[in-house]
A = this chain, B = another copy of it.
Amino acid sequence: MQRKLPQSNLYLREEELRRGIELLYFAYRDFTRDPDEILADSGFGRAHHRVLYFVKRNPGTTVSGLLSLLRITKQSLSRVLGQLVDDGYIEQKPGTEDRRQRLLYLTDKGEKFEADLFATQRQRVAQAYKMAGPEAVSGFWEVLLNIVDDSEREIVMRQLEK
């Protein structure tokens, strides 16, 4: 018998998939809202935030390091990075081993600004973690990691373990 089971399963599955898709949209939209507001006051945008964030997390990283992490073009990165350097948020030091490289570090000003931006997301995510509980948080991480491209998962995991 069971004529209707496959149909029913498919329907449930679709609902579950749409739920994930929608939550991802809404959560990401709100997740970026607080820092976006702070950034706008300083004449920066979301891209600046990402650069500050990943330089903070990977002090001494190079331009190509950022490029392969962010997966944007060097022209896009260059514009944003240049502004951050010009405005004194990021410092470039020539590589010791390979002098073509520019090692990137946050200045004190950059550290403070990043901390302000981080505080807003910290608050939001900490609250969500608290409401959902530790088991839910594990599941959250696991599903997200599996949504990442197969081809990117290695590099993402390396980043997470820093």
Among the listed B22, B124, B148, which residue makes an inter-chain contact with A159, where contact means beta carbons less than 8 Å apart?
B22
CB neighbours (8 Å) of A16 from chain B are 129, 137
Taking A30-B148, A30-B149, A147-B30 as contacts, is the C-beta distance between A22 and B125 under 8 angstroms? no
Stretch from A79-87, A89-97, A99-107, A138-146 at the B interface:
A138-146
A17 adjacent to B139 (CB under 8 Å): no
Bound together, the chains give a CA A84 to CA B13 distance in angstroms of 28
Taking A50-B25, A146-B128 as contacts, is the C-beta distance between A141 and B18 under 8 angstroms? no
A127 within 8 A of B: yes
Bound together, the chains give a CA A140 to CA B16 distance in angstroms of 11
Interface of A is mostly: helix
Instruction: Pull 9 A–B residue pairs with CB atoms less than 8 Å apart, ordered by A.
Output: A17-B122, A20-B125, A20-B137, A22-B160, A23-B141, A125-B147, A128-B143, A131-B142, A139-B139
Q: A25-B50, A26-B156 are in contact. List 10 more A-B contacts (CB 8 A).
A: A23-B140, A24-B27, A26-B144, A26-B152, A27-B147, A27-B148, A129-B143, A135-B139, A138-B139, A140-B142
Residues on A facing B (Cβ under 8 Å) = 13-14, 16-31, 33, 50, 53, 57, 71, 121-122, 124-129, 131-133, 135-149, 152, 156, 159-160
